[in-house]
Amino acid sequence: MLLAFSRRKVRRLFSETADVDEVIETLRYASEDTLTAMVLGRVQYLSAGLAWSLLTGVVQLMRGAMPPEPQECRLEFWPSYEDPEDPGGWVEPDVVWVDPRIVLGIEVKWRGTQDPAQLDKEYRALAQAFPGREVAILALGGMGSTQLDELKTRCATENLLVLSWAKFAQGVRAREAELASGPAKAILSDIALVLAERGLGDTSRLTTFATLPAWPLGLALPWTPIVPHGGFLPLVTLGRHGLERALSPLADWRIA
Amino acid sequence: MTDAREQLGGALAQLRIGYRLVVAYQRRLLDLARRFEAGVRARHPDLNFERWAPTDWSMPPSGTTNPMPRWAWDFVPLYRCEFRWLTGATPAPGAFWLWLTHYADTGWPAVSKTENDPLGFAEAAGCDTIVWPGVLAIPLGGSVSAPPPSWDALYLSLNSKDEDWMDRVAHERDVDGCTVRWGGFTCSVSELAEPSDVEKNLIEPTLQLLDLAVGRPTGTSPAP
């Protein structure tokens, strides 16, 4: 999160609304920049091998070749590069993994969709900024079948990888389960929590309606027998009529 | 203790039971929505949560809004609510808007301008607890006007009949220059006890409906 604050990604939310609760909700559940900071900001603490496997292990190679595994994990957040086709213009990928041999630009989308022109522009800017290195672009999120078709037909990026958030989350949970306790497991656990808050959690442990407490729940509780209007009729169970009878005195209860 | 006090005490004991049951139920409802979301997202990875809201009254007030004049219904937003997702911020070929409406009690009167008193509803046993998936889509190869309207505007212009949302058919019509398909179905929560029931009775039929809605346009007749 510090990354998002320090790169002034949070401030603009306050310019859009004065409602602090709304800003907090957006930061936690909706903002693409805070998701980037909370997830990839933690990925950079992992070993190069583990981080690389999370980002490329289940990736879909759309064009070109899969880049080789980097030697070190060094991520830069929202760096700016000159746009080779627009003198004086700048290009800002969300994250760039810079390695002595390879450079991987990561374009993150949350709720938005990937734009082939933006990916091409980032590829060209990185290729110019890092001559002699193998450059690839990873489009993380923002892909449906329509966008995949568009990327296939309209994107000119030479080495293009595509990864959905759902697959990334699945990979994080799988690697977390494999690891023994330690810093890497704690980091993956944190990432999994962030993703779960975005609706990308493990659905295998969810509750089911089959486990809803069976009616009459009240039999397990100390409760006062109800005396309905018109006579004494102790209710030993809370059947459907029991509840409706119970509501009757509530209907008569008035404070004012 | 007077009769009235005893009677109210009994009702309040049952109220406590009711609250516990409501919270247990709502936990399961939220988890059902998560299962539904994950099941649809497995086929449509670009599915994004859009919003949720009670369908027939207001959201609970914020911390600085006086709650006392508000309807009591405002404080049980999940009783009748909808969860909404979309695959594109604005309508585009292949994109869709999906929602899951939840009615904890079909005994809630359909139209009401005043604060309904639940103690006057029809007998609970004769009512149902349902979820209701609905889809509004632009089929692949369909047209979209420029600039594209919002999903909300498209839905309002559609001015559809309720029964169109219950027959599992992808209806099709041109709306404000956009090719629109829509449809839905209802499902009793009593048919969703186990995860396999959720898959069979809710997620699979929704995916089938999405296939019909997002597939190639068929002219003005309903999709097969």
CB B163 within 8 A of CB B141: no
What pLDDT is stored for residue A244 in this prediction?
Answer: 57
**Run of H or E residues at B170:** none
CB contact (8 A) between residue B45 and residue A223: no
Tell me what ipTM this predicted complex has: 0.73
Q: Is the pTM of this model over 0.95?
A: no
Do B123 and A240 count as a contact with CB atoms less than 8 A apart?
yes
| Contact assessment for residue B61 and residue B71, using Cβ atoms and an 8 Å cutoff | no
Q: Report chain A residues whose CB lies below 8 A from the CB of B18.
A: 243
Cα B139 to chain centroid distance, Å, stands at 22
| B75-to-B62, B71, B79, B109, B167 alpha-carbon distances in Å | 11, 8, 9, 18, 32
Q: What is the pLDDT of residues B132-190, one digit of tens each?
A: 999 999 999 999 999 999 999 999 999 888 889 999 999 999 998 999 999 999 999 99
Is A203 near chain B, with CB under 8 Å? yes
Which tens digits make up the pLDDT trace of B196-217? 999 999 999 999 999 999 986 5
Contact B14 A165 (CB under 8 A): no
Position B57 pLDDT exceeds 60: yes
Token output for B39:
């099941």
Q: Are B199 and B39 in contact, with CB atoms under 8 Å apart? A: yes
Query: Which residues of chain B neighbour A207 with C-beta distances below 8 Å?
Result: 27-28, 31
Q: Which residue has the higher pLDDT, B121 or A228?
A: B121
> B133 vs chain A: nearest CA distance in angstroms?
18
Q: Where are the beta strands (DSSP E) in chain B?
A: 48-54, 80-86, 96-103, 130-137, 171-175, 178-184, 187-188
pLDDT at A44 over 90: yes
